[in-house]
Chain A
Amino acid sequence: MTELSPATSRLVRHSRRRGRDWKGALSAVRKLIADKEDTAQVYAIMHALNGNAYEVDYVRLLATPDGGRIAYERVELADRLVDEAWRATFPPGSVGEAYLAFLETEHISVQGLIDESHKGIPPAELDQEHPYVWFFRRFRDIHDILHVLTGYGRDALGETCLLAFSYQETHDLGRAVMAYGGYLRAHGPAKAQARKAINEARRRARHAAWLPGEDFETLLFEPLDAARARLRLTPPLAYDAVPAELRNLTTV
């Protein structure tokens, strides 16, 4: 590779090198395989393996047109998303409205996601007043919005696809491990179709805009279809082709 300018090599040297905890990740993977609903293990895996990913993403955020302001304001999206009065203002057909409908039909809540993440990551790490950790929390809080934008459901295959998608967006190795685990464990009559869907998810993310850099407080008010078009989110054809009743069976 080419020689780096002094400023850049200084930047690299000062990055906070977080080692990867493969042992911790492995035991969390075992627990997750035993109980697919144990979301806390998902966070434990990411925490063990994400290394410098969110640090790199944060610096990337600062280089986007809106990112500097977003980072400076550092809104905790979770606080906004639990605000009933604010949620009530989402117009019909908007991303926000689809998001609320998703939460309701799946019986999930923002608070649930936060609680699970606290079970998987020590609070001293997760609740730090640190820009990098703020960025991690932000990505946690938008998970269900990404479900809506990408069109992946909450079945096992949909979650695996969203992991593959978000690996491509964040380069968090924990997400790759889980997505690849799902890929390897695919079985049954729809095995090949499921694997195709996971590959497609990664490809879609590569093609799409960089979602962590979006201003979600604005995005939630955008019409869903217009937002998908703007963010270059193509329809999940391979995922939709897997029969709905097989989506839970193939990767579990």
Chain B
Amino acid sequence: MTALAPASTRTVEPRRHRTRDWGRAVRAFQRLMADKEDTSQVFAIMHALDGDACKVDYVRLLATPDGGRIAYQRLELSEKLMDDAWRASFPPGSVGAAYANFLATEHLSAAGMIDESHKGIPPEELDRFHPYAWFFRRVRDLHDVWHVLTGYGRDALGEMCLVAFSFQETHGLGWALIAGGGFLRAHGPAAGKARKAILEARRRGKRAAWLPGEDYEKLLFEPLEDARRRLGLTPPVAYEAVPADLRNLTII
């Protein structure tokens, strides 16, 4: 590669070297395979394998047109998403309305996600007053919004697909480990189709806009179809081709 400008080489120097803790990751992965509903293990895996992903993404955010303002205001999205009055203001057909509907039908809440993340990651790391930790919390809070945007359900295959999609968006290695594990464990009559769906998810993530850089206070008010088109989110054809009754069976 070509020599870097002095300014760029200096950027490289003061990196916060976060090493990857593979032992912890593997143990958490085994616990996750034993109990698929134990979301806290997902956070433990991500935390163990994240490395510098959040840092790189945060710097990337600052380079986007809206990202500087978003980072400066550093809104905690979970607080907004738990605000019932704000959620009630989502217009019909909007991303926000679909999101609220998704939470209601799946019996989920933004608070539930936060609790799981606290079980997987020590609070002094997760709740830190640090821009990188803020960015991590932001991606956590966006997970269910991404379910709605990408069209992946909460079944085991849908989660795997979203994890593969998220790896492409954030490059957190934990996501790749989980998606790769799901890919290898696919079995039963729809194994081939499920693997196709996971590969498609990664491809969609590559082609789509960079979702962590979006302004969600606006995006949630956008009509769902318009938002998908603007963000380059094509329909999840391979995922939808897997029969609904097999989506949970193929991975677990």
A residues at B contact (CB < 8 Å)? 1, 3-4, 7-12, 14-16, 51-53, 55-56, 59-60, 62-63, 68-69, 71-74, 128-134, 171
| Contact status A131-B12, CB under 8 Å | no
Asked if B60 CB lies within 8 Å of chain A CBs, one says yes
Residue in chain A with minimal CB distance to B61: A14
> Of B24-32, B71-79, B177-185, B199-207, which stretch is located at the interface?
B71-79
A193 to B14, CA, bound (A): 36
CB pair A1–B71 under 8 Å, yes or no, is no
Contact A129–B69 (Cβ < 8 Å): yes
Which residues of chain A have C-beta atoms less than 8 A from B128's C-beta?
A: 68-69, 72
Residues of B within 8 A of A11 (CB): 11-12, 15, 52, 55-56, 59-60
B131 interface neighbour in A3, A56, A71, A130, Cβ under 8 Å: A71
Residues of B within 8 A of A (CB): 1, 3-16, 51-53, 55-56, 59-60, 62-63, 68-69, 71-74, 128-134, 171
Known: A62-B131, A129-B73, A130-B69. A56 touches B56 (CB 8 A): no
CB <8 Å contact, A131 and B62:
yes
Q: Sample 6 A-B pairs with CB under 8 A, ordered by A number.
A: A1-B3, A9-B1, A11-B12, A68-B129, A71-B130, A129-B68
User: Hey, which chain A residues are within 8 Å of B52, CB to CB?
Assistant: 7-8, 11
Tell me the minimal C-beta distance from A11 to chain B in angstroms.
Answer: 5
Q: Which of B1, B10, B60, B133 contacts A171 (CB 8 A)?
A: B10
* Residues in B whose Cβ lies below 8 Å from that of A63: 14-16
Tell which of B3, B53, B132 touches A7, judged by Cβ atoms closer than 8 Å: B53
Picked from A4, A10, A129, the residue with its CB within 8 Å of the CB of B72 is: A129
CA distance A179 to B71 in the complex (A): 34
Report the minimum CB–CB distance from B11 to chain A (whole Å). Answer: 5
> When the two chains form their complex, are residues B1 and A56 in contact, meaning their CB atoms are under 8 A apart?
no
A8 engages B15 (CB within 8 Å): yes
Partner pick for A56 among B7, B71, B133, CB 8 A cutoff? B7
Complex contacts, A4 vs chain B, CB 8 Å: 1, 12
Contact of B132 among A12, A62, A128 (CB under 8 A): A62
Q: Is the CB of B11 within 8 A of A62?
A: no
In the complex, the answer to whether B129 meets A59 with C-beta atoms within 8 Å is no
